[in-house]
Amino acid sequence: MGYLSTTCHVLSSIAIAETLPAKLKRTEELVDLISKYPAARVYAVKEGAIKLLLRTREKYSDEALQQVIREALAILGYVEQLPGRGIRILSIDGGGIRGIAVIELLRKLEQISGRRISDMFDYICGVSTGSILLSTVGIPNGRSLDEALTLYKSLSTDLFTQQKVKGYWNLAWSHAYYDTVKLESILRDYIGTMPMIQTNRQAKCPKMSIVSTIVNLDRPLPYLFRNYSIPHQRYSEYRGSHDHPLWKAVRASSAAPGYFEEFLLDGLVHQDGGVTVNNPTAVALHEASILWPGVPFQCIVSCGTGRTLPMVRSPGYVHDLTDENAVPDAKNTSLTTKLNRVLESATDTEGVHHVLEDLLPRGVYYRFNPYLSEVIAMDETSGEKLSLLRRDTEDYIRKNETRFKAATKTLLEEKSLTAKAMDFVKHKGYLWNAHL
């Protein structure tokens, strides 16, 4: 039996199954089938699978069945109606250990709102360190911000603390200064092996994407690890997938050149997403517009990992960002410092911000990116400097209290009763007016 005829048979079996266990078993078979065969997914949509699953979901309250149906709908490209009056987006930049700053920014939003991050946003996009945060605090039953902070401390003490001789040896042997095997072990243990699409089994899970860079094509291109499928007959500018484990998506997005080894996955070589997109806000806007076409943006929160004010000097002055008073000697500049400069100069997070600030309506777009009194390297291990990072971030939060409150207020705005009624009528019409 071909997979198309098998798809038709499974859909019919779901429709006629009389017991809950039978419904569950057949729905799981559908998930396996449409996960394995993309053409079966398209065929299932055309044959009315989405309507069938929605009707089944309304009829049965069993949580196990509800979970499998949510996953199946996500694979088929179904997108739930929004709870707010528009789309709410969270975007998180790359920046290595400076993700600690973002933890404090997100903590402020949670403190003001009284809600978890996963409850406030419809779409979350992260790159590099942003992908780590997305995979932990962005999932309804995921980690807390305090637990995320513990992970960053582990990265600093267990991963970035190593002898220079070993780092140079690693670099010569594998083109990676740090122990990639150890990184993978940390990510597997902390994030887990769940496929991204299965995050949808949790009720009200935001749509999410993790950005990496493919480097074995004609030119480097962004790649999106999604927890959703692009809806039928809609198209994204970005290549991507939804079936890889969450930890592998983070591993690919965090493969900073010179720091960690490239990541080979299904014939594609991935490096850090920041190589092409270090501020993924524009990517998030593009993807959200595909998922909810014609729906306005309610609130967009973009979080940076910190910036320093540029120093203005006389012509010809050579400035070392790690020392306010020194002119660096190229021969003595450390390898990791050079790697930091190369990677960070290749991306312009604030450039993206300035464009979006001009294009998006006032009161919708909020960019939070703390000023740092010293440059903090992506792989910083100094307890003193990491404490300074947190103090600078806390100072920034205090000075921007009004903006944080305004952003939170916008995030929490609900639909009007009229809009909710229209959504209900539209949903029922979609559900029952067409044949299976």
The full 3-state SS of 286-297, as one line of letters, equals HHHHHHCCCCCE
pLDDT at 157: 80
CA distance 99 to 77: 31
CA distance 200 to 5: 27
pTM confidence score: 0.88
Contact indicator for 227, 242 with CB cutoff of 8 Å: yes
CA distance 395 to 389: 10
Q: What is the pLDDT along the chain (436 residues), one digit of tens a residue?
A: 588 899 999 999 999 998 999 999 999 999 999 999 989 999 999 999 999 999 999 999 999 999 999 999 999 999 999 999 999 999 999 999 999 999 999 999 999 999 999 999 999 999 999 999 999 999 998 899 999 999 988 888 877 766 554 554 455 555 677 889 899 999 999 999 999 999 999 999 999 999 999 999 999 999 999 999 999 999 999 999 999 999 999 999 999 988 899 999 999 999 999 999 999 999 999 999 999 999 999 999 999 999 987 654 444 434 343 333 333 343 444 444 544 544 444 456 777 888 888 889 889 999 999 999 999 988 888 889 999 999 999 999 999 999 999 999 999 999 888 877 887 887 777 777 744 4
CA distance 328 to 244: 44
| Catalytic residue annotation | 128, 272
Q: How far, CA to CA in Å, does 430 sit from each of 51, 52, 288, 426? A: 8, 11, 22, 6
CA atoms 220, 236, 284, 211: torsion sign: negative
Instruction: State the Rg of the chain over Cα.
Output: 23
pLDDT at 175: 60
| Closest C-alpha among 192, 224, 341 to residue 291 | 224
pLDDT at 167: 53
CB-CB neighbours of 49 under 10 Å: 25
